[in-house]
Amino acid sequence: MEFIMAILAGILFTTGIYNLLQKQMLRIIIGTGLISHGAHLFILTMGELKTGERGAPPILTEGVESYTDPLPQALILTSIVISFGVTSLLLVLAYRASKINGTDNMEQLRGNDYE
């Protein structure tokens, strides 16, 4: 199962980066979203996946010996919140930038002193 998740994370990175390399801002933000999904999945996979009988959710219960690793989950939780903050900031930034400049094409957004 880990290998499948690793491949899935890889595909999320691939599509995310492909979107990142486009010229439109919306696509770039979608790309960052995909990349952060990939990264979260990547961290979870690194912490040993436990399906079926191998581990219970990390909530202490009587009679359960094996739990999934709680630390990656805590890390991902933090990361989700941070990437949400960043994504919303990016969205508003894109909105404002395209309003002011009249374009959301990254190739046209260049400094004035560009030669």
Partner 1 sequence: MLVAVLLPFILALFIPLLSKWKNKLHTGYFVTIVPVIIFIYFIRFIGAGFEPVTREYSWIPSLDMNIVFYLDGLSLLFVLLISGIGALVAFYSIFYLHKSEQLGNFYVYFLLFMGSMLGVVLSDNVFVLYSFWEFTSLSSFLLIGFWNHKKASRYGALKSMLITVFGGLSLLGALVFMSNLTNTASIQGMIDQQQLILNHEYFPLILCLLLLGAFTKSAQFPFHIWLPDAMEAPTPVSAYLHSATMVKAGIYLVARYSPMLSSNDWFFIIVSTFGIITLCWGSYMAVRQTDLKGILAFSTISQLGMIMSMLGFGTKMAVFAAVFHILNHATFKGSLFMVAGIVDHETGSRDIRKLGGLMTYLPITATLAVLASFSMAGVPLPFLNGFYSKELFFDASLHLKVTPEGFKELLQMAMPYLAVFGSIFTFVYSMYFFFGTFRGKANIEELPKKPHEAPFGMLVSPIILVLGVIVIGLFPHLINEPFIAHAAHAVKGVEFEKHIKFWHGITPPLIMSLTVVVFGTILVLTRKIWQPVYRFIPGVLSMNKFYDGTVDRVERYSGKITNGYMNGSLGRYVRLILAAILVTTFAFMAVTGGFTIDTSNLADLSLPGISVAVMMVIAAVGTIITNNRITAILILGVVGYGLSMLFVLFRAPDLALTQLIIETVTVALFLLVFYHLPKLRKKEESASTRVLNIVISVGFGAMMTMIAISAHSSKWFDSIAGYFIEKSHSLGGGDNVVNVILVDFRGLDTLFEIVVLGIAAMAIFGMIRLRGNKEED
- Kindly identify the residues of this chain, within the stretch 1-20, that bind partner 1 according to CB under 8 A: 1-20
Is 32 a binding residue for partner 1 by CB under 8 A? The answer is no
Q: How far is the CB of 75 from partner 1 (least distance, A)?
A: 8
Which residues, numbered 54-83, are part of the site for partner 1 (CB under 8 A)? 54-61, 67-71, 73-78, 80-82
The single residue listed with the structure tokens 């508003």 is 92
Do residues 76 and 40 touch, judged by C-beta distance below 8 A? yes
Q: How far is the CB of 99 from partner 1 (least distance, A)?
A: 7
**Closest-CA residue to 87 (of 14, 12, 22, 16):** 16
Three-state SS at 109: coil
